[in-house]
Amino acid sequence: MTVTDTVRLATIGAGRIGGNHAGLVARHVPGAALAAVADPVPGAAERLAASLGAPYATTDPAAVLGRDDIDGVLITAPARAHTDLVVAAAAAGKHVFVEKPMAVTLEDADRAIAAARDAGVVLQVGFNRRFAPGFAAARAAVDDGRTGTPQLLRSLTRDPGPFTADPARIPRWTIFLETLIHDFDTLCWLNPGAAPVRVHATADALIRPDAKADGHLDTAVVTIRFDNGAIATAEASFSALYGYDVRAEVFGSGGMVTAGSGRSTDMTYYGPEGMHADTARRDTDLLRPAYLAELTAFADAIRHQAPPPVTGHDARRALAIALAAIRSVETAAPVDLAEVTA
Ligand SMILES: NC(=O)c1ccc[n+]([C@@H]2O[C@H](COP(=O)([O-])OP(=O)(O)OC[C@H]3O[C@@H](n4cnc5c(N)ncnc54)[C@H](O)[C@@H]3O)[C@@H](O)[C@H]2O)c1
């Protein structure tokens, strides 16, 4: 591929985030085209492909992987399908962007990493927060040394409420494996060069206490100790009535940076009843520039045969923290990362 060639991408999984990513690739990612959509639910791929002018739709992801006119795939299927799709895509010589979590076991994470390495394809993981302008500026301040020695870090995710989903349809431990996994990556990324060593988690069903007996958890706090001494907290809720809210903070010997405000614009309305700021109801609205930037980076990594900015190893590290947090809840005790990764 030369640098002027169009990067031809296919979406595997035409649900909520697959539709978002397919739309960005079809209309906004420079030098990329949406070449195909696959989804096993009859009609789902056809509808998305037709709405975006993609030439090919199928219910069979393997059919996409067998095509010569596709350079890379976006794996946006449910979490537990990710690893097998990464392995199949890599074996077919396709570059891979996979949504988080790349895997839900460390064995599967290793399998995905090895498959991409052996095939020599790009493997990028969907930790989009790194690409949000405020988060990227926070990391730049850390890199410049402006925050000094990191002491305290924070990252939070609050999904927009009210929570209306059926808890029975949410896989067990989702709050760690699919929600807080973003925060675990953010905290590691904002503390570059340091390794997480110890995790202590507490979680509950405060939004749907009636579902707790079936294993549902919707509220959690995790503390993470790093080998450079820094102490980090990650927290999540499935129901913030004011909107979607993601934020991060690094506090160190030289100062502090924060990123994210929960505001969807920087407009403030001042009126008789006080001040009002707008918030977003969807991640795809609040973090739209971040999704566009991560997909642009994926296309660039393919075009330039360059390492992707978020790797399979980054995904494995965040997963290890999630697995340690799960064990910490199960045992009501702190967990050394070494216990999980051994
Ligand atoms: N990075 C982010 O901000 C972000 C946001 C939302 C979701 N996600 C992640 O994206 C993934 C999908 O989430 P979603 O909300 O779009 O789910 P969804 O249920 O809306 O969509 C999943 C789609 O995949 C299809 N599918 C099921 N099995 C498949 C298979 N084996 N091969 C191909 N397609 C298959 C389903 O029919 C469905 O259309 C999850 O891992 C989730 O954690 C990431």
Using alpha carbons, select from 258, 237, 260 the residue that is nearest to residue 160. Answer: 237
Name the residue at shortest CA distance from atom 39 of ligand 1: 15
Q: What is the pLDDT of residue 342?
A: 84
- Quote the pTM value: 0.97
Digit-coded pLDDT (tens) for 190-216? 999 999 999 999 999 999 999 999 999
CATH fold group of domain 7-121: Rossmann fold (3.40.50)
Q: Ligand 1 centre from 17 Cα, in Å? A: 6
76 ligand 1 Cβ < 6 A: yes
CB 291 within 8 A of CB 20: yes
Helix (H) or strand (E) holding 284: helix 283-286
Q: Ligand 1 centre from 77 Cα, in Å? A: 4
Mean pLDDT of the chain: 97
Q: What is the pLDDT of residue 318?
A: 98
Q: Ligand 1 centre from 19 Cα, in Å? A: 9
> How far apart are alpha carbons 337 and 187 in whole angstroms?
15
190 ligand 1 Cβ < 6 A: no
What atom in ligand 1 is closest to the CA of residue 20? 16
> How far apart are alpha carbons 187 and 140 in whole angstroms?
14
Residue among 99, 124, 177, 287 whose CB has most ligand 1 atoms within 8 A, to mutate: 99
Domain extents for the chain? 7-121, 129-283+318-341
Digit-coded pLDDT (tens) for 115-174? 999 999 999 999 999 999 999 999 999 999 999 999 999 999 999 999 999 999 999 999
Helices (H), 130-207: 133-144, 174, 180-189
152 ligand 1 Cβ < 6 A: no
Q: Which CATH number fits domain 129-283+318-341: 3.30.360.10, 3.50.50.60, 3.20.20.10, 3.90.380.10?
A: 3.30.360.10
